[in-house]
Each structure stands twice: as C-alpha cells, then as structure tokens.
Amino acid sequence: MRIGIIVAALTLIISQAVFAQEAGTSIADLRSEEPLADNATPPVMPKTEDKAGRRVRNYPEQPPTIPHEIDGYQVTKNANKCLSCHARNRTGESGAPMLSITHFMDRDYQFLATVSPRRYFCNQCHVPQMDVKPMIENEFVDIDSLILPKNKE
C-alpha cells in the first residue's frame, strides 16, 4: 500500500518534469529561447520597403504586393485613401496603376460603374513588404522554372 503511494508520487513527479521540459522547449522556440520568466526584448520594427517600380507577381492571379508605404492611409466605410490615387479618374494625376477591371465586377460577374464593395477593402488582399528574414523556409517554385525543358535548366 505504502509502496504503491510512493511509486504513484514518483511517477507523477517524473512525468511533470518531462512535461515541463517538453513544454519549455516548444515555448522557448517561439520566444527565441528567452527563459520563460524573463521578458524578451522585442526585435526592432523593420522598415516598409518603399521603392519606385512594381514587383513581379509569383503567379498571374496574385494580388500584386504594394511597393510603397501605406502608413496612415485610411480605408474605412467613409474614406478610402488608396482610391485617391488608384481610382480610374485619379490615375492621370497620381501616375498610379488603375485597379484592374476585375475590381469593378460583382459576384455575378457584372461590371459596376465603380469599385465593387467586395474589392473596397484593399488591404484584405494587397500588402506592403518588409526586408526581413523569412520565419520559415519557403520552397515555392515559379511555374516558369517548373515547365522549363530539362536541357535548358
């Protein structure tokens, strides 16, 4: 009886130690190895890339990434800063590319006179980019390299 209790207590202690260790490693990975009790120094906020020119799309349907900063650009029910440059009637002045015609289509593929409500919140699909190290490896292969004849590689 007494031995049973001791064995049970020991098993509990050991299993907790193992669990704590496992939990410790997996959490530490996400916390950049900072001990749990300490506050990690957050990394410096990277700067948004802001260059002239447009980025190559990885595949034809990709929403192009935003090549400029968008800090402070409001997109709300009442105002859309993006449209002040990218709307059809603003592009002459701004030099920005017009939203493509797909942005005028409703869900029944009918063209509206102006941007469709489902394309109004630009940042749902378009995002700026920052010059940072990817958090995980990316093995994406462009279709052009996939379909290249072997002898041309």
Residues making contact with ligand HEC (CB under 6 A): 52-55, 61, 63-64, 66-68, 70, 73, 75, 80-86, 94-97, 99-100, 102-103, 115, 119-126
Beta carbon nearer to ligand HEC, 11 or 84 = 84
**Minimum CB distance to ligand HEC smaller for 4 or for 60:** 60
Question: 9 or 79, CB closer to ligand HEC?
Answer: 79
Give me the least distance between CB of 136 and ligand HEC, in Å please.
24
What is the rounded radius of gyration, in angstroms, for the C-alpha atoms of the chain?
Answer: 26
Q: How far is the CB of 42 from ligand HEC (least distance, A)?
A: 25
Rounded Cα gap, residues 66 and 48, in angstroms: 10
Nearest approach in angstroms of CB 26 to ligand HEC is 35
Backbone torsions φ then ψ of 128, nearest 5 degrees: -75, 170
Query: In this structure, what token pair is assigned to residue 41?
Result: 């120094």
Q: Of 72, 54, 51, whose CA–CA distance to 63 is shortest?
A: 54
The string of DSSP letters for 116-129 reads -GGGS-GGGT--B-
Query: 21 or 84, CB closer to ligand HEC?
Result: 84
76: left (phi over 0), alpha (psi -120 to 50) or beta: beta
Residue 128 beta carbon to ligand HEC: minimum distance, rounded to whole angstroms: 8
